[in-house]
Amino acid sequence: MAQVLTLCRSVLHWNPLWVRSMCSLEEQARAIFAAAVEGVQPDSVVRRALQRRGDELVVAGHSFKLHHNLHLVGFGKAVLGMAAEAERIVGDHLVQGIVSVPHGIQETLQRHRKLNMLLDTSSKIKVMEGAKHNLPDTDAQRSAESIRELASSLTDGDLLLVLISGGGSALLPAPVPPITLQEKQEVTRCLAAAGATIQELNTVRRALSLLKGGGLSRCAYPAQVVGLILSDIIGDPVDLIASGPTVWSETSLEEVWAILYRYNLYATLPLSVQEVLNQTGSQQRSKLKDQPQQDNILNAVIGSNAIALECASRKAQELGLRPVILSPGVCGNVQAVAQLYGLLSRFACSPGKEPPELRDQILKLGQEVGVGSSELCRTMKHLEEGRQESLHATCLLAGGEPTVQLLGKGKGGRNQELALRVGLELSRAEERSTTVFLSGGTDGQDGPTEAAGAVSDRNIETEAQSQGLDIDVFLRNNDSFTFFSSLSKGQKLLLPGLTGTNVMDVHLMILPPPPSAV
Ligand SMILES: Nc1ncnc2c1ncn2[C@@H]1O[C@H](COP(=O)(O)OP(=O)(O)OP(=O)(O)O)[C@@H](O)[C@H]1O
Ligand SMILES: O=C(O)[C@H](O)CO
């Protein structure tokens, strides 16, 4: 596969049409996914965000004077690579740094030979590992305490660079006393198990933490704070990504209580949590209101799903496809998302005019999965134009984070389940399309599996049947990884390994023109 792609790349310069005929649609889909991930690698996003002009650092159009006054902290799954690149750019002015990163990440990155994501042996940045299984633990609490001490020691004229990525909430636990780590962990665990969204979860986390909800930048005051954020939440809400430690947010206690009521946690809430919410919380908030809030803070989203989709789009164009970005905000049930992609493929593959009811069905389903009518109308227009094209296939790109309702006990992930469901939609459609679909997690890990996702097309059902695999049985048991591992010896699995970044999932569908147009 790698050899085929290298060959494709080497001939790309002089004959894209020839390349298209040499690379299968599946190979193109895999290459486009790889480009999406490459575009949001921690080092490349930091390189794009930090410009160095002599002793000046420019971030998002703002300029900061460097005079050996730079301090760095970070927390999240991707911040080790971000820190390594930041140190390469501004290391000569760096005084000290601490990053809180997942347990075992250094060893894993070493094993995967991702050396550019590791710090130099002479680094001024201390790496602290913790939060096993993405849960806050005493190691992560120690890291949070060290980060708090560093931030609190800063003075006017200092500059604090804060690197933030997904997983940051668990890596920066600092419960407001008298809440203990165990109590806070339990509240978070119960909320997550009851199906609370990440927005709800982090709204509660912010109210129970000394550092979240702008707490870290308050500790650093009066130093200048610059937050560089790699987003893993739909819509890139800076106050919620890693629970917004650099984003002043006035927590609404009513909202927090409403969430706790909604998930029936009110009755079992530890006394300490009630105390913080009832008294300490409001006292703290009125005290903090007196402090200058935002003048010394700059937050910039430097990597996101939308950026990954743009990189994918450029790659698709390079490969001679017609890219169209549907949306970076696909959410909702994976079943509805699969139906939407099935309908969009039907739309693209209808020779001549599409069936009259199809547009309405697409618009209705779009609402269920977070895709607006204007995004869908724009996409359908593009697909309609694609129907007249005889040479170029269309590449539809989308991203986000759909959900799976876990009813079975199998092994799988939302990307593999989505790929399987879309394959089934294509298999069972009347139109005999040659559409290829791919879904992958940009972090390289889909649920608790070794795969990032999978690729599918309309042949999946007949192939499965010929190999004695019943797709419906696997789906009922949420067993998509076992299915794809068994199907054709795992050839349809997407196995990039740990990527070191995370901007949610990327979906892509390559739609060749309908037969009548060719
Ligand atoms: N057997 C399964 N089949 C389908 N989906 C599953 C299965 N087991 C877990 N999942 C889904 O996998 C997701 C958790 O996986 P993962 O660790 O990749 O989450 P994530 O949201 O990407 O985490 P992060 O944002 O920290 O990277 C959940 O949405 C869960 O419903
Ligand atoms: O750390 C977190 O809170 C999640 O990854 C969302 O950003």
Best residue among 414, 442, 450 to mutate for probing ligand 1, ranked by most atoms within 8 Å of CB: 414
If asked whether residues 446 and 330 sit together in one domain, one would say yes
**pLDDT-derived band at 4, boundaries 50, 70, 90:** very low
CATH assignment at residue 482: 3.40.1480.10
Q: State how far the Cα of 510 lies from the Cα of 317, in Å rounded to an integer.
A: 12
Task: Tell me if 247 CB under 6 Å of ligand 2.
Answer: no
Q: Identify the CA nearest to 399 among candidates 230, 257, 235.
A: 235
Q: What pLDDT does 343 receive? A: 97
CB of 233 within 6 A of ligand 2: the answer is: yes
**Per-residue pLDDT averaged across 263-287, rounded?**
79
Distance (Å, whole) CA 111 – CA 337: 36
Kindly tell me if the per-residue pLDDT of 320 is higher than 90: yes
Ligand 1 centre and the CA of 402: distance in Å? Answer: 10
Residues 422 and 513 in one domain: yes
Centroid of chain to Cα 379: 23
Q: Measure the CA–CA gap between 128 and 113, rounded to whole angstroms.
A: 20
Residue nearest to atom 3 of ligand 2 (CA): 242
Q: What is the pLDDT of residues 431-450, one digit of tens each?
A: 778 999 999 999 999 999 99
In the prediction, which pLDDT does 134 show? 82
Distance 448 CA to ligand 1 centre (A): 7
Mean pLDDT, residues 97-120 taken together:
93
Mean pLDDT for the stretch of residues 449-460: 96
Q: Is the pLDDT of residue 386 over 60?
A: yes
| Range list of β-strands (E), 54-158 | 56-59, 62-65, 70-75, 94-102, 125-130
168 lines ligand 2 (CB under 6 A): yes
CA of 97 from ligand 2 middle (Å) equals 21
- Find the ligand nearest to 475 CA: 1
Reported confidence tier of residue 281, pLDDT bands at 50, 70, 90: low
Distance between Cα 503 and ligand 1 center (Å): 14
Contact 218, 291 (CB under 8 A): yes
Q: Tell which residue, 506, 380, 368, has the closest CA to residue 441.
A: 506
Last residue of a domain, one of 303, 336, 369: 303
| Closest listed ligand to the CA of 169 | 2
Q: Over range 299-326, report the average pLDDT.
A: 97
pLDDT, residue 280, reads 55
Residue 430: predicted pLDDT: 83
> Ligand 1 centroid vs 99 CA: distance in angstroms?
25
Residue 502 alpha carbon, nearest atom of ligand 1:
27
Both 452 and 492 in a single domain? yes
Spacing, Cα 146 to ligand 1 middle (Å): 31
* Ligand 2 atom at shortest distance from the alpha carbon of 201: 3
Q: What confidence tens digit (pLDDT) does each residue in 461-510 have?
A: 999 999 999 999 999 999 999 999 999 999 999 999 888 899 999 999 99
Residue 134 CB less than 6 A away from ligand 1: yes
Q: At residue 5, does pLDDT exceed 90?
A: no
Closest ligand 2 atom to Cα of 240: 7
Q: Which domain holds residue 412?
A: 2-40+309-517
| Residue whose structure tokens are 């690698």 | 41
Q: Can you read off the two tokens belonging to residue 313?
A: 């789009």
Question: Mean pLDDT throughout 188-207?
Answer: 92
> Could you tell me the pLDDT band of residue 8, with boundaries at 50, 70 and 90?
very low
- Give the domain-ending residue among 237, 271, 303: 303
In this structure, the answer to whether residues 344 and 471 fall within a common structural domain is yes
Q: Are residues 511 and 456 in the same domain?
A: yes
Query: Is 285's pLDDT higher than 60?
Result: no
pLDDT at 516: 65
Does any ligand 1 atom lie closer than 6 A to the CB of residue 445?
A: yes
For position 16, what pLDDT does the model report? 46
How sure is the predictor about 18, in pLDDT bands with cuts at 50, 70 and 90? very low
* Phi, psi values for residue 18, rounded to 5°: -65, -40
User: Is the per-residue pLDDT at 200 higher than 80?
Assistant: yes
214 and 190 share one domain: yes
Locate the ligand 1 atom nearest the alpha carbon of residue 167 and give its number: 26
The pTM of the full predicted model, rounded to 2 decimals, is 0.91
* Boundary residue ending a domain (272, 303, 334): 303
Q: Tell me how far the alpha carbon of residue 306 lies from the centroid of ligand 1, in angstroms.
A: 21
Q: How far is the CA of 76 from the centre of ligand 2 (A)?
A: 8
Which ligand 1 atom is the nearest neighbour of the CA of 405?
31
* Spatial contact of 504 and 305, defined as CB atoms under 8 Å apart: yes
**Whether residue 508 is found in the same domain as residue 407:** yes
Instruction: Supply the residue whose CA is at minimum distance from atom 5 of ligand 2.
Output: 166
Average pLDDT over residues 131-156: 95
pLDDT tens for 207-231 read 999 999 999 999 999 999 999 999 9
136: Cβ below 6 Å to ligand 2? no
Best probe residue, ligand 2, of 198, 236, 505 (max atoms within 8 Å of C-beta)? 198
Q: Answer yes or no: do 502 and 356 share one domain.
A: yes
Overall average pLDDT of the 93-106 stretch: 96
- Is residue 135's pLDDT more than 90? no
CATH number, domain containing residue 91: 3.40.50.10180
Shared domain check, 450 and 494: yes
Separation of CA 359 and ligand 1 centre (Å): 31
* Rg, C-alpha atoms of the chain: 24
Which residue CA neighbors atom 2 of ligand 2 most closely?
A: 242
Residues 6 or more apart whose Cβ sits within 8 Å of residue 30: 1, 5, 438, 455, 494
Residue 338 and residue 477 share a domain:
yes
Mean pLDDT over each residue of the chain, to the nearest integer: 91
11 with 81, same domain? no
Instruction: Say which residue, 266 or 481, is predicted with more confidence.
Output: 481
Report CA(401)–ligand 1 centroid distance (Å).
10
Verify whether ligand 2 is closer than 6 Å to residue 169 (CB atom). yes
The total number of structural domains that make up the chain: 2
Pairwise pLDDT comparison (288 vs 166), residue with the higher score: 166
DSSP character string of 183-239 = HHHHHHHHHHHTT--HHHHHHHHHHTBSSTTTHHHHHHTTSEEEEEEE--STT--TT
Q: Is 370 left (phi over 0), alpha (psi -120 to 50) or beta?
A: left
The larger pLDDT score, comparing residue 1 to residue 332, is at 332
**Least reliable range by pLDDT among 97-111, 136-150, 249-263, 401-415:** 249-263
- Tell which atom from ligand 2 comes closest to the C-alpha of 198: 6
Is the minimum distance from the CB of 241 to ligand 2 under 6 angstroms? yes
Query: Same domain for 299 and 333?
Result: no
Ligand nearest to the CA of 238: 2
